[in-house]
Amino acid sequence: MDDLVELERDLTAAVAAAADLEALERLRVAALGKKGTLTERMKTLGALDPDTRKAVGARLNAAKDALADAIAARRTALAEVALEAKLAAERIDVTLAPHPAQAGRIHPVSQVIDEITEIFADMGFAVAEGPDIEEDFYNFTALNMPPEHPARQMHDTFYLPARADGTQMVLRTHTSPVQIRTMLAGPPPHRVICPGRTFRLDSDQTHTPMFHQVEALVIDRAIHMGHLKGAIEHFARTFFEVPRVTMRFRPSYFPFTEPSAEVDIGCDRSGGTIRIGEGSDWLEIMGCGMVHPNVLRACNLDPDEWQGFAFGMGIDRIAMLKYGAPDLRAFFASDLRWLRHYGFSCLDVPTLAQGLSR
């Protein structure tokens, strides 16, 4: 028993003297592992008489428990020391000028929003914004979506907890509510684009629960589909920086526009890349249409006097298309390596005079 007391004292002292986590782990294995010192002692109990076996076994178990507690306490202390050392080593003085290799980059989504804004500002559009958390009226009702519309279902929409009156607010599923707020805020004419975050229950290589959208709205007298087609063609040609772009408008359905259409642009998919303005393939880029009379009435406008058009597209998707990013999920992964590759310098300010993506 005396040698067991001495062994326990030596092992406890060794634990206290362990300089790092690796040394502590080696000590734990040497003492408590399958072939550890105390484990081997436990294997000798079978050769002792019952009374001695009981006493020595209890003493060995107590020694193992005490040593395990000492190791756990030392591990916690060493982990805290290691963390403090790591934090001290990685400390950054944010008041210093960044090293060129550590310089920040503009996210492609931010860059593309600036490009879109530059294009539409040149056409006389203003930028309008609205809240991410929306009332049902702005997100659905005023946009001519009946109560049973599939877009209202919980499998598509993030609903907030019900309020005292039973109504629920939503994370906006599109930026169209900004169009409604714009029309209700003042009299026409209106000419705005509405960029911002939107939210839907979807996630795969080309969909994320949070994504970015931009919509355009024009309300004036005597507006027709020719104006809509001209604006979209000018945008596509300028954004993709090609001299000409072939377009087709396929009839579609949206509750807030009538007539409605999906817009495809001509492209070439050969060679594993997509080249806009070439080839005989087609690529869908947006939905559009003339503002539905019911939407105008919901905004207190007379559809016999005022007409308009609207179109919308995913900012993340056209950024993927223009700059060759293969997976939408990487846009939100906070991977600095990805951002250094696809990001932009703070001096890469998009201008029509010098080129959007110089």
pLDDT in tens, 301-346: 999 999 999 999 999 988 988 888 887 888 888 888 888 888 888 8
Instruction: Name the residue with tokens 């994370």.
Output: 171
Report how far residue 72's alpha carbon sits from residue 69's, in angstroms, rounded to the nearest whole number. 5
In whole numbers, what is the pLDDT of the chain averaged over residues?
86
For residue 155, pLDDT beyond 70:
no
Residues 56 and 190 in one domain: no
Q: How far apart are CA 237 and CA 123, in angstroms?
A: 14
Residue 32, in any domain of the structure: yes
Note whether residue 160 is domain-resident.
yes
Residues 83 and 118 in one domain: no
Whether 348 maps to a domain, the answer reads: no
Range of the domain at 303: 108-342
Pair (128, 206) in one structural domain? yes
The verdict on 85 and 194 lying in the same domain is: no
Q: Are residues 133 and 46 in the same domain?
A: no
- 199-208, 233-242, 305-314, 347-356: which has the minimum mean pLDDT? 199-208
Do residues 335 and 191 share a domain?
yes
Q: For position 358, what pLDDT does the model report?
A: 56
Final residue in a domain of this structure, among 89, 117, 142? 89
- Is the model's pTM score more than 0.95? no
Judge if 206 and 131 occupy the same domain: yes
Q: How far apart are CA 28 and CA 15, in angstroms?
A: 8
In a domain, 97, yes or no: no
Asked if residue 142 and residue 77 are part of one domain, the reply reads: no
Find out whether 173 and 200 touch, Cβ atoms under 8 Å.
yes
Does residue 355 sit within a domain? no
Shared-domain flag, residues 161 and 253: yes
Residues 73 and 112 in one domain: no
CATH number of residue 198's parent domain:
3.30.930.10
In this prediction, residues 103-107 reach a mean pLDDT of 82
Whether 275 and 268 have beta carbons less than 8 Å apart is answered as yes
> Residue 101's pLDDT is what?
58
Number of structural domains in the chain: 2
Question: Would you say residue 358 lies in a domain?
Answer: no
CA distance 331 to 320: 9
| pLDDT single digits (tens) 64-80 | 888 888 889 988 998 99
Residue 69 token pair = 């507690």
Shared-domain flag, residues 139 and 75: no
Is residue 101 a part of any domain in this protein? no
Distance between CA atoms of residues 180 and 170, nearest Å: 16
> Is 350 within the bounds of a domain?
no
Q: Are residues 83 and 117 in the same domain?
A: no
